[in-house]
Amino acid sequence: MSPKTLYDKIWDAHLVDTAEDGTSLLYIDRHLVHEVTSPQAFEGLRLAGRKVRAPEKTIAVPDHNVPTTADRVNGITNEESRIQVEALDTNAKEFGVHYYPVSDVRQGIVHIIGPENGWTLPGMTIVCGDSHTATHGAFGALAHGIGTSEVEHVLATQTLIQSKSKNMKVEITGQLAPGVTAKDITLSIIGKTGTAGGTGYVIEYCGEAIRSLSMEGRMTVCNMAIEGGARAGLIAPDETTFEYIKGRPHAPKGAQWEAAMEWWKTLYSDDDAHWDKVVTIRGEDIAPVVTWGTSPEDVLPIDAVVPAPEDFEGGKVQGAKRALEYMGLTPGQRLQDIEIDTVFIGSCTNGRIEDLRAAAKILKGKKIKPGLRAMVVPGSGLVRAQAEEEGLAQIFQDAGFEWRLAGCSMCLAMNPDQLAPGERCAATSNRNFEGRQGRGGRTHLMSPQMAAAAAITGRLTDVREMMTPEPEPA
């Protein structure tokens, strides 16, 4: 048998049919659904008199439009948002899919609750009408975003029409320096390969630095595969993965667990598998980074200065010029001198318990800069509950952060949490496009630790200056 990559193995295991021109029909194991990209798909089924083929493999949750303030129990004020969420309530019920309504403690961002409840498992094919579906690749699953017509197609047939992507290996060798996180890895990769560097590929992340990451960290890395242009990103499952999954509500149990483990352990790329592209980065070379522009590839180490348009080539010269203007920055300005108005810790990139722990560690016993708006939005109700139990919520509140309910929140301007024009935000989310967090809003992407540090000083800050050195092992 010819050697295969992990992507090849999962692909082959889900192939229903291949046409002469290579177009394939792929079976989908899990279909995640949220309120923004699904109403037209359900409506399409209704008009055609079709049913959801596998409601037991379909999981729905409202997240994008949902307010994150406590008064949301009284209903959503924005008429259009309310209608979109109500449509999902109705559709979930009518078509009999698994559903976590706003009132359920397990409600949260779709890409957080899938893994949390054990829906996301190694070797699966997972889709969602959302580009950050790549997150689930952290479990060694083939996971990617789809359009609304495709959502309807998956609902009706539990399959997707696909052509195969190429294989790309991104290896992060060695160890990360203190203060460097999974977010810095993923941003640095995009900084190196560009936002179109992964176009046409499925990426497998590997190497010692990736292996050393927790599942939370791996999800952060895979989450942003799409920002690098890739269709999906994945990481081969290992003991860390199995440990995380074991005991989750929808994870296999008993004999099924044993059978699953047997298969899961075969899910890795064979030594001599063929890669169409290989990128290698030394873990030691990665610094804590921030973005300065309006594309996730506009990444620089925190101790750098704002670049000038002339530092770039081709179309990027104009792009950088426009970005600097939009961001209100001057070439040569130290990144650490950039003052911010808002801090947002949350999103499907960094809204998990470990992210909150890391931020709280920096904030413990400190206060945010007076006048700053700072909010923590846990990725799910369960993350929120756990953070309260661990005392993290108290640390955030004592520091001056707002402690919110779960949702996409300020990651995108579809709910009340938005930036005002010209407002500048240190954000742990994944997109810094113009207007992403609100019309005219300015976004700097970074890790939760760096966002916490920025909250204290009121400017972009090198978290390493705030870290208490770990005691040397005796």
Residues near another protein (CB under 8 A) are 13-14, 16-17, 21, 25, 27, 29, 36, 39-40, 43-44, 48, 50, 53, 57, 65, 80-81, 83-84, 87, 121, 123-124, 147-149, 152-153, 156-159, 161, 252, 256-257, 259-260, 263, 414
336 binds, among another protein, ligand SF4, none (CB under 5 to 8 A by kind): none
Nearer to ligand SF4, 109 or 235 (CB): 109
Residues forming contacts to ligand SF4 in the complex (CB under 6 A) are 63-64, 109, 111, 130, 132, 347-348, 408, 411-412, 429-430
257 binds, among ligand SF4, another protein, none (CB under 5 to 8 A by kind): another protein
216 binds, among another protein, ligand SF4, none (CB under 5 to 8 A by kind): none
Nearer to ligand SF4, 31 or 169 (CB): 31
CB of 4 to another protein, least distance (A): 17
Is 128 marked as a binding-site residue?
Answer: no
453 binds, among ligand SF4, another protein, none (CB under 5 to 8 A by kind): none
Q: Cα angle vertex 253, ends 158, 206, to 5°? A: 70
- Cβ-proximal residues to 1 (8 Å cutoff; 6+ apart), any chain: none
Nearer to another protein, 263 or 276 (CB): 263
CB of 411 to ligand SF4, least distance (A): 3
Nearer to another protein, 29 or 297 (CB): 29
CB of 197 to another protein, least distance (A): 18
80 binds, among another protein, ligand SF4, none (CB under 5 to 8 A by kind): another protein
163 binds, among another protein, ligand SF4, none (CB under 5 to 8 A by kind): none
411 binds, among ligand SF4, another protein, none (CB under 5 to 8 A by kind): ligand SF4
CB of 290 to ligand SF4, least distance (A): 18
- Cβ-proximal residues to 273 (8 Å cutoff; 6+ apart), any chain: 3, 4, 5, 8, 167
Nearer to ligand SF4, 68 or 429 (CB): 429
Nearer to ligand SF4, 128 or 236 (CB): 128
CB of 24 to another protein, least distance (A): 11
Question: Do the beta carbons of residue 429 and residue 347 sit within 8 Å?
Answer: yes
Nearer to another protein, 159 or 269 (CB): 159
CB of 326 to ligand SF4, least distance (A): 20
Task: Write the burial class of residue 314 (CB in 10 Å: 0-12 exposed, 13-18 middle, 19+ buried).
Answer: exposed
- Cβ-proximal residues to 201 (8 Å cutoff; 6+ apart), any chain: 165, 166, 167, 168, 229, 230, 231, 276, 277
Q: Cα angle vertex 218, ends 214, 220, to 5°? A: 120
CB of 407 to ligand SF4, least distance (A): 8
132 binds, among another protein, ligand SF4, none (CB under 5 to 8 A by kind): ligand SF4
Distance of CA 186 to the CA centre of its chain: 11
Nearer to another protein, 105 or 259 (CB): 259
CB of 253 to another protein, least distance (A): 9
- Annotated binding residues for [4Fe-4S] cluster: 348, 408, 411
